Amino acid sequence: MSDRTRDAAAAPVRRRTDRRCVFASLTVAAALYAADQLAKLWVVHTLVPGREYPVVPGLLWWEHIRNSGAAFSLGSGLTWVFTLVMAAVVVGILWLLRRVRDPWWAVALGLVLGGAGGNLTDRLLRDPGFGRGHVVDFIAVPHFAIFNVADCGVVVGIALVLLLLLTDRDMEGTRES
């Protein structure tokens, strides 16, 4: 047996896609998406818009608002742009999942995918119309924007992506040199 044949036989065979990681990522995304949509359904049918409902007095309350913009209601006149950006994020993550072989990357991308999908659903299906819908936000804390479950998933997912990048861990589960 030649050296080249022996090296090829000893090298681990890497599949292009790790189905377990794809499944894990899609499971995380689906769970976050479901939690977000169920919470928003509860908010829309239970909470009066603009009224505060204390959860932990002075620290946390529910307040039903409709957000046409991004974080902190920035860009409220550009709702359709946010719809396109979120659609691109969803498509981009689905495309990236074929490369993921690291479980932590799978979780991180699943969180961002579920959150982007939750807010994209609002943009597509809520008033005032398709592609211009306002996102349902309801989690309020002092001196900060009012947000939702999807936003939490996106923030935690992005933080995890940054941590993975800072520790030189690539999507294939190896450390970059």
Residues with catalytic function:
137, 151
Q: What is the Cα–Cα distance from 172 to 66, expressed in whole angstroms? A: 39
Question: Is 43 in contact with 55 (CB distance < 8 Å)?
Answer: no
**Which residues is 23 bridged to in the sheet?**
none
Question: Is 83 in contact with 132 (CB distance < 8 Å)?
Answer: yes
Q: What is the CA 32 to chain-centroid distance, rounded?
A: 8
Token digits for 121?
């659903």
